[in-house]
Amino acid sequence: MLKLGVNIDHVATLREARYRGRAAGEPDPAEAARICERAGAHGITVHLREDRRHIQDRDVWKIREIVTTRMNLEMANTPEIVDIALRLRPHIVCIVPERRTEVTTEGGLDVAGNEAALAETRKRMNDAGVEVSLFVAPDLAQIEASARVGAQFVELHTGAFAEQFSEGGGADAELERLTVAARAAHGLGLRVNAGHGLNYQNLPALLRVPHLVELNIGHSIVSRSVLTGLEAAVKEMLALMQPYRGGV
CA 184/CA 42 separation, integer angstroms: 25
CA dist 40 to 4, 35, 248, Å?
9, 9, 47
Is residue 74 flagged as an active site residue?
A: yes
Task: Check 10, 16, 37, 47 and give the catalytic one.
Answer: 47
* Length of the chain as a residue count: 248
Task: Say how far residue 200 (Cα) sits from the centre of its chain.
Answer: 16
Task: Check 16, 37, 74, 98 and give the catalytic one.
Answer: 74
Query: What's 173's DSSP letter?
Result: H
Give SS3 for 153.
strand
Range list of β-strands (E), 62-199 = 71-75, 92-95, 131-136, 153-157, 191-195
For 28, counting Cβ atoms within 10 Å of its Cβ (0-12 exposed, 13-18 middle, 19+ buried), the class is: middle
On whether the CB atoms of residues 85 and 76 are closer than 8 A, the answer is no
Is residue 50 flagged as an active site residue?
A: no
CA dist 126 to 85, 116, 150, Å?
12, 15, 10
List residues with catalytic annotation: 47, 74, 196
